[in-house]
Amino acid sequence: MIIKRLTMHNFGVYAGDNTFEFTHSRPIVLVGGMNGRGKTTFLEAILLALYGDNSNAYKESSYVTYGKYLRSYVNRDSWSQDAFVELEFIVNEGTRNEYLIRREWDARMKRTREKITVMENGVYSEFLTENWPMFVENLLPSALSSFYFFDGEKIAELALDETNVQMKESIRSMLGIRVLDVLKNDLGRSLRRNLKKSGSDTSLEELQALQAKKDELAKKLEEMDQEIEACSQETSALKEEIDELRRKYEVKGGNVVEQRQELMQKRADIKNAILQNKNALVEIASGELPLVLVRDLIEAIQVRAEKEHDDFVMQQALPQIEILVGDYLKENKEKTDQSRHLMEYLKTMTEKRSTDAVYQFSEQSLLQLRMLVDHLLDEVKQNAKDLLIEKEQLKKQSDEVESYLTLDINEKELQDTVELLRDREDKLIQKSAKAMSLQQSRSAVQTELNARTAEYSRNVEAYLQQVELHDDTERMIKYTNLALKLAEEYSAKLQERKTDILGMTITDCYKKLANKKNLIDRIVMDPRTLDIRYLDENGADVSRNSLSAGENQLMVIAVLWALAICSKKKLPVIIDTPLSRLDSMHRKALVTTYFPQASEQTIILSTDSEIDRTYYELMKDSIGDEFTLNYSEETKSTTIMKGYFQES
């Protein structure tokens, strides 16, 4: 299944007509938007279009009726007070079967009615319009939709759920066990009705007692699951309160009190550095630094000294030139006039261009002057700048440390926060211990239930041998018990076979995502309880508490990924706020491994801080369509723009 188009008219924060068209063949679709801009509304629009009042979004909402739920999504600023969602998708890429489902309603009357229209390959289909729930359940059962359409906050909740009750329910739905549960309940009711009709046979009374005991244990197990779930929620609430108290402790200066000695040492180090900086400035000021102020004058001196030196050299050279010219004339008497004229010219020009000797620098002094102008002045100036910058930085550091040390801290309020924090931590320990005790008790009840179920099965077999086939009621009881036995055996075998495959698939998915490749070697699932166990390379159990919060969330994603794979349905994956609580390493694993492989079409609803520029570049080659949700304060509505936060 590939989604081609989603149109929303006056739906939630989307005023007027707003259309997402998915045309690209690459698997990833990015829909960017800040919080409150309509990302979750996008997901709920798809769920509503597909499932209507069977949508998980509606079931999990606080609305009592489906009509009120629909009315809540009509855009408040719409004058027409009508709304619709329209979803167009392809079921089979080969045959190109194309479907369009449209749901429309209005909020003008007290009672809200929904109208459904279904098109198949561009033609109105009366059959699909009247039987859409049956068709969509066959295409994508609503029980499996949470494996494909989910949000990051849901993943975080599942990662904190120590009992995995919600996850087990999802797994049972995928395995098809829920259907067998319904069958067994129906058979159980039929059996109880027929047992009442069958008289006071001792064997029937024993079976009835065993059935009652088994039902009692099953009910007790259900109550314990509810109690464990409540305990888990209380534990999560305590953890959140502890985190908040720790933040308050830091805000009130608790960390400063703990680090006061370290801060005092840091202040001493900074003062020492300031003193060293001051001495360095004094030292450099006592050297060549003042000469930087008169650099122009020094350069003028250099020019004059260089000319004086050239004149001196020329004057020293003239006698030698005159001797050489005399030697030349002895051998070339015919050039006497020219040579004498040249010599006179050299003497005249030397006298004319010579200047009065003011500085009379030696060769060594002139070399030092050149070094000063060409190198030393620039070096000393740069060193002075660096020292002044360092001085300013040290002053800022000193002011910052002083501000911490002089911070007005309310010791009494801080102590109250510490005591409250300790109290909540003690309660958390007690709740954790209670949860562990409940888990142990649950295991004992589960063991007893398994034993009673086995005993019941043995008695059923013994009873079946005694029942007379001619009696309709007894025959009904016989075949009902036989059907119950077969259903339970089939359920156990089905779970055992499918949980093995599911465990291997979860292991494969988790290893693709995890950074610590050697921490967990294999993931197995109990075929009866559906409890998940993590095993290392030696076959020993790996405690769930040894996994970080990010690794626990990756495990949940691996389970959802494996469930989607094992369901063998090629369906789009839609993920709302996928990275909100993950660190950078785990975000990278999702971006580079899970998103490109999750499905043929993976729609990611993200803020700019989740899929930022870095993660965008990592999965750029897999990104097809890109959209940004732009919210207007004037119209109080969201519009759709091409490009991910206007970046192609």
* Structural domain includes residue 483: yes
Q: Express each pLDDT in 237-256 by its tens digit.
A: 888 888 887 777 666 665 55
* Structural domain includes residue 612: yes
Is the pLDDT assigned to residue 200 strictly greater than 50? no
Q: Pick the last residue of a domain from 468, 497, 525.
A: 525
Is the pLDDT assigned to residue 28 strictly greater than 90? yes
| Same domain membership, residue 274 and residue 241 | no
The rounded percent of the chain whose pLDDT value lies above 90 is 15
Rounded Cα distance, 48 and 58, in Å: 8
| Same domain membership, residue 276 and residue 248 | no
Calculate helix-pair angle for 202-251, 152-160, nearest 10 degrees: 110
* Structural domain includes residue 484: yes
> Tell me, what CATH number does 471's domain have?
1.10.287
What is the structure's pLDDT at 166?
Answer: 58
| Same domain membership, residue 295 and residue 324 | yes
| Same domain membership, residue 599 and residue 493 | no
| Same domain membership, residue 173 and residue 119 | no
Residue that is written with structure tokens 């369906």 in the block:
571
- Type and span of the H or E element at 159: helix 152-160
Q: Express each pLDDT in 126-180 by its tens digit.
A: 999 999 988 888 777 777 677 678 776 666 555 455 556 656 666 666 666 666 6
Largest distance between two CA atoms of the chain: 163
Q: Express each pLDDT in 398-433 by its tens digit.
A: 887 776 655 555 667 767 777 887 888 888 888 888
Rounded Cα distance, 58 and 551, in Å: 30
Residue 182: which domain range?
160-252+414-525
The pTM assigned to this predicted structure is: 0.55
Is the pLDDT assigned to residue 588 strictly greater than 80? yes
What is the structure's pLDDT at 470?
Answer: 45
| Same domain membership, residue 368 and residue 319 | yes
Q: Which two tokens stand for residue 380?
A: 């000393």
Q: Say if residues 525 and 502 touch (Cβ distance below 8 Å).
A: yes
| Same domain membership, residue 337 and residue 293 | yes
* Structural domain includes residue 316: yes
Q: How many Cα atoms occupy the beta-carbon half-sphere of 438 within 13 Å?
A: 21
Q: Pick the last residue of a domain from 374, 404, 430.
A: 374
What is the structure's pLDDT at 155?
Answer: 63
Q: Say if residues 590 and 18 touch (Cβ distance below 8 Å).
A: no
* Structural domain includes residue 73: yes
* pLDDT greater at residue 87 or residue 532: 87
The mean pLDDT of 586-598, rounded to a whole number, is 84
Q: Pick the last residue of a domain from 318, 342, 374.
A: 374
* Structural domain includes residue 393: no
| Same domain membership, residue 115 and residue 51 | yes
What is the structure's pLDDT at 48?
Answer: 94
The mean pLDDT of 565-576, rounded to a whole number, is 80
Q: How does residue 626 score in pLDDT terms, banded at 50, 70 and 90?
A: very high
Is the pLDDT assigned to residue 287 strictly greater than 60? yes
Q: What's the number of domains the chain is made of?
A: 3
> Tell me, what CATH number does 31's domain have?
3.40.50.300
| Same domain membership, residue 281 and residue 248 | no
* Structural domain includes residue 387: no
Strands 115-120 and 123-124: antiparallel
* Structural domain includes residue 97: yes
What is the structure's pLDDT at 648?
Answer: 38
